[in-house]
Each structure stands twice: as structure tokens, then as C-alpha cells.
């Protein structure tokens, strides 16, 4: 068959294959789907083009994030069964098709088509693309799972750093009247439609690089000098395996679900409000001492903290351990939110430093959680378990902005808010993080009754079911 190269058996690496070729393949996918964080670039243009409200346009992103969690949860077991190459190819098709349908919707002024395209179809590509390289990286890097997942998921956090300037330049090419250096300049709807068309084609090509280069290790493979028996000496790290079906029956899964939900809720609330927030914290009368262009730069800086945190903190978790790392994310996070509430307005440097560290914890939480799952449940179906856990992200993507915006709406109107108006929301986030902190403390090793009977590492590496579980 023409697509037989996608089959799992055709992706098994031959002896001598370097595992360091896998992270670039994973990055090719995550850098592309990370464009989801750059939707603000054309948000105003879509509002003007469709003559719609900010809320109506914001629903596009919300649908995409909800579908990310849903598709990751529903398709996780399928991803494990067919292997990373077929899954990444499927993700590329959905992601690119989402852009093409979205472009058609913009060109014909049919907003529902943008919901269907970028939101629903593209969101499916987001979910499958997000989880497809993760379990493969963990199998290639059993000695450093935090480093491995950090390298890939870092790309999702940094996708906006590539997509934002690229999108602005492309829209200026398609609309001669649009000046990307002028914050008040708005591109036409046709320019955004052409942008979607271009991104759909370009992202498909880049993601295919990952498709052709990803491979899975042969059954029984392990890195030179790695002794799996050493894992038994580490707290919470198991050498047994738990299926996705059994994982969701354990309290550990749901404690970790709460941990991820709380960490993401707190971080995404700041990310969603970042630009206006820094201006409001330093407002004097009707004007802010922070210019709109500086606020835009601040959003870009937070993207760097987000990306760096995904790599740095997840790699550090290989030495600290996953549970202590989340104690840091949530415990230090509570202190930082308190400092932001009471002293964030004292100086812009203080505000930027505190929010930057908070967002680095937000990104680090995403990158560390697959390794945490591997520690608790083993490598067998870890991608499917990860997919189910990402429903916490979908829930937090709704809860975080609702909490922040709900409090701010009660305090006043946009453009008139000051730092004290943010305090109720920030103190609420401290409570949210406290719930996650307690949930993390309650995590213990998974009971033996949930382990797969007679499940060997050979089966786990091959991603197959054992005779006892078929």
C-alpha cells in the first residue's frame, strides 16, 4: 500500500540509530501546532472583518483547546497502537485542513466555518499532534524522561515566537496597507484568509519532516550504560506498567489531574490577560506608563519564559524528582502570586520578573507531567494516559480566563482598571494553587492490583498488548 511506510513495523529503528534524531522530529510537530498561542496576532482583524465581538472571535481558540483535550483523550490509545508516524501524519492532515477550512470561512465571511475549521478540525490535529511524540521520546530516553519531553513540549511553548512575526510579515505582504510595526494598523480579512492558506501549506510540509524522521526503538533496546533496575531506588518511579484503562481507575491519576488543572488555571489566567495587565498595574489616571508596544513586547517575553521553563524545569525534574518539582511549581507559585498582588506595582522590573517565573512554572508543568506519568504508570500506553490527563488543560483553559475576567468585570471597565483591581483574582489563584499543592502531596506509588500481569519491557517498548491483556 502507498501509505505502508506509516505502519509501526516500518518505523522500528535499526541498530546504531541515534536517539538524538528523535527530538528534532518531535519539535517539527510541536513548533507548528504551537501556533495556537499566536492567535492574538489576527484577532482584531477578524473582529473587524466579521463585525463581531471579541468574545465571538475568542471562541475559535476556546474550541481548539477543548478539542485538543477531547481528541487527546479519545485518540490516545489509538496513537499508542498505530505508532508515532501514522499519528503525526494524521495530526498534520487535520491541522493543515483546519487552516484551509478556516481560510474559506474568512474569504466567504462565514464565521461558523472558522469555528469548524481552525477550532474543531484543527483542534483534533492539536490533540493528536501534542501527544504523538511524547511516549516515543520517553521510550528513547528512559534515563532522562524529563529532558526528553521538555525538548519536544518546549516547541509548543515557543511556537508563537515563530508564528507571530511570520504572520505579521505575511499579512503585510498580502495587504500593502498593513504596517506590522504600527499597533493601530489592522490587516484586511482577505490578508488573514491568505495567511491561513499559507500557514496550512507550510505547516503541513514542516510536520511531514517529523513524520518521515520519527522512529521507535526496537523491543528490548536501552541506552548504553542504563540499568533499568536502578529506577527501583527512586521514589514513585515504577518498573511495572499500567494500562490507560486501569490508570483512570487509580487515585494517583485524578490527583495528578487536579495538580495539572490548578497549575494551568493559575498560569493561563495571566497569559490571557498579559498585555492589558502590565498596563493596568502601572496606570496613572487615564494613561498607563507602559506603552502598548511595550505591552506587546512583554507578551513576547512571557513566551520566552514559557518556552524556557518547559525545557529547564522538566530537565531539572530528572534530578529533583517529579513530586518535589511540582511542590516548587505550586508552593513557590503561591508565594509569587502573593508578591504580585502586594508588590507587583512597585516597579516594572519586579512585575516582569514575578510574572516571568510564574509562566515558567506554567510551561514547566506541561513538560514535566508526561515524565510524572511515566514514573507512576510505566511506559506502556503512557501516551494514551497523557491524552486523558490533558482534559485538565481543556477545563483549565475555560476556568482560568473566567476567574480573571469575572473578577475584573466586577471591578470596572477595561482601560480604567488599576493594580488593586487584580488583587481578588490573584488571591483566588493562591487558593487554586493550594488545592493543587495538597493533591500533589497525596500522590503515592500505584498499587500492584493495577499493574499489567506479566507485562515485560519488550512489550512496552513495542507498544503492544501482552498475551494476558489481549
Show the low-confidence residues of the chain (pLDDT under 70): 1-5, 183, 228-235, 292, 414-416, 454-470
Q: Which residues pair with 283 in a beta bridge?
A: 288
- Would you state the pLDDT for residue 9? 74
Task: Please give the backbone phi and psi of residue 151, each rounded to the nearest 5 degrees, phi first.
Answer: -65, -40
- Would you state the pLDDT for residue 418? 76
Residue 146 parent element (H or E): helix 145-174
- Would you state the pLDDT for residue 111? 95
The residue behind cell 541506552 is 223
- Would you state the pLDDT for residue 353? 94
* C-alpha pair distances (Å), 32 with each of 36, 65, 102: 9, 15, 16
- Own/partner contacts of 9-16, CB < 8 Å, gap of 24 or more, are 10/85, 11/83, 11/84, 11/85, 11/214, 11/215, 11/216, 12/215, 12/216, 12/217, 12/218, 13/215, 13/216, 13/217, 13/218, 13/221, 14/218, 15/218
C-alpha span between 134 and 150 (Å, rounded): 10
Q: Are strands 283-284 and 287-288 parallel, antiparallel or unpaired?
A: antiparallel
What is the length of the chain? 470
- Would you state the pLDDT for residue 332? 96
DSSP state string for 4-61? GGGSGGGSBPPTT--GGGHHHHHHHHHHHHGGGGGGGGTHHHHHHHHT--HHHHHHHH
Residue environment code for 412-429, b if the CB has 16+ CB neighbours within 10 A, otherwise e = eeeeebbbebbebbbebb
SS3 of the chain: helix, strand, coil, percent, to 5: 75, 0, 25
Q: Which residues pair with 12 in a beta bridge?
A: 216
Q: Where are the beta strands (DSSP E) in 239-305?
A: 283-284, 287-288
The alpha-carbon radius of gyration of the chain (Å, integer) is 22
* C-alpha pair distances (Å), 11 with each of 8, 19, 75, 138: 5, 13, 20, 16
- Would you state the pLDDT for residue 229? 64
Q: Where are the beta strands (DSSP E) in 154-277?
A: none
At residue 285's C-alpha, the angle toward residues 284 and 288, to 5°, is 45
DSSP state string for 319-358? HH-HHHHHHIIIIIHHHHHHHHHHHTTS-HHHHHHHHHHH
C-alpha span between 258 and 434 (Å, rounded): 11
- Would you state the pLDDT for residue 214? 92
Specify the 3-state DSSP secondary structure of 157.
Answer: helix
- Would you state the pLDDT for residue 414? 65
Are residues 136 and 381 in contact, defined by beta-carbon separation less than 8 angstroms? Answer: no
- Would you state the pLDDT for residue 238? 72
Q: Which of 156, 137, 145, 136 is nearest to 65 (CA)?
A: 156
Amino acid at each position: 500500500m502507498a501509505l505502508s511506510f506509516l505502519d509501526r513495523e516500518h518505523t522500528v529503528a535499526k541498530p546504531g540509530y541515534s536517539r538524538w534524531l528523535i527530538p528534532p522530529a518531535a519539535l517539527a510537530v510541536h513548533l507548528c501546532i504551537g501556533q495556537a498561542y499566536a492567535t492574538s496576532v489576527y484577532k482584531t482583524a477578524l473582529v473587524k472583518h466579521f463585525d463581531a465581538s471579541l468574545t465571538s472571535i475568542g471562541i475559535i481558540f476556546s474550541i481548539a483547546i477543548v478539542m485538543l483535550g477531547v481528541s487527546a483523550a479519545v485518540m490516545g490509545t489509538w496513537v499508542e497502537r498505530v505508532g508515532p508516524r501514522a499519528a503525526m501524519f494524521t495530526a498534520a492532515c487535520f491541522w493543515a485542513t483546519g487552516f484551509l477550512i478556516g481560510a474559506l470561512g474568512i474569504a466567504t465571511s462565514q464565521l461558523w466555518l472558522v469555528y469548524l475549521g481552525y477550532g474543531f478540525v484543527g483542534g483534533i490535529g492539536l490533540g493528536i499532534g501534542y501527544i504523538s511524540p511524547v511516549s516515543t521520546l520517553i521510550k528513547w530516553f528512559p534515563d532522562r524522561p524529563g529532558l526528553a519531553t521538555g525538548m519536544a513540549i518546549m516547541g509548543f511553548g515557543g511556537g508563537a515566537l515563530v508564528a507571530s512575526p511570520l504572520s505579521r510579515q505575511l499579512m503585510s505582504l498580502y495587504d500593502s496597507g498593513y504596517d506590522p510595526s504600527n499597533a493601530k494598523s489592522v490587516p484586511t480579512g482577505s490578508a488573514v484568509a491568505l495567511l491561513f492558506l499559507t500557514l496550512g501549506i507550510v505547516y503541513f510540509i514542516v510536520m511531514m519532516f517529523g513524520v518521515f524522521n520519527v522512529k521507535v526503538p526496537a523491543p528490548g533496546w536501552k541506552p548504553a550504560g542504563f540499568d533499568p533496575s536502578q529506577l527501583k531506588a527512586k521514589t514513585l518511579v515504577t518498573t511495572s506498567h499500567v494500562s490507560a484503562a486501569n490508570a483512570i481507575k487509580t487515585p494517583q491519576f485524578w490527583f495528578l489531574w487536579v495538580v495539572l488543572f490548578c497549575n494551568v488555571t493559575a498560569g493561563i489566567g495571566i497569559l490571557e490577560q498579559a498585555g492589558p495587565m502590565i498596563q493596568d498595574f502601572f496606570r496613572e489616571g487615564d494613561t498607563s506608563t507602559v506603552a502598548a508596544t511595550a505591552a506587546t513586547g512583554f507578551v513576547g517575553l512571557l513566551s520566552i519564559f514559557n518556552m524556557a521553563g518547559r525545557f529547564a524545569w522538566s530537565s531539572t525534574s530528572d534530578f529533583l524528582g517529579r513530586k518535589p518539582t511540582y511542590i516548587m511549581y505550586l508552593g513557590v507559585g503561591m508565594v509569587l502570586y502573593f508578591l504580585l498582588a502586594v508588590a507587583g506595582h512597585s516597579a516594572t522590573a519586579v512585575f516582569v520578573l514575578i510574572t516571568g517565573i510564574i509562566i515558567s512554572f506554567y510551561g514547566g508543568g506541561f513538560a514535566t507531567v508526561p515524565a510524572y506519568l511515566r514514573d507512576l504508570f510505566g511506559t506502556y500506553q503512557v501516551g494514551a494516559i497523557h491524552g486523558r490527563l490533558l482534559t485538565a488543560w481543556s477545563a483549565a483553559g475555560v476556568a482560568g480566563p473566567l476567574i480573571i475576567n469575572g473578577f475584573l468585570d466586577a471591578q470596572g471597565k477595561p482601560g480604567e482598571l488599576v493594580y488593586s483591581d487584580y488583587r481578588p483574582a490573584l488571591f483566588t489563584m493562591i487558593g487554586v494553587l493550594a488545592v493543587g499543592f495538597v493533591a500533589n502531596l497525596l500522590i503515592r506509588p500505584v498499587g500492584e492490583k493495577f499493574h499489567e500481569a506479566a507485562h515485560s519491557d519488550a512489550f512496552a517498548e513495542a507498544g503492544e498488548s501482552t498475551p494476558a491483556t489481549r
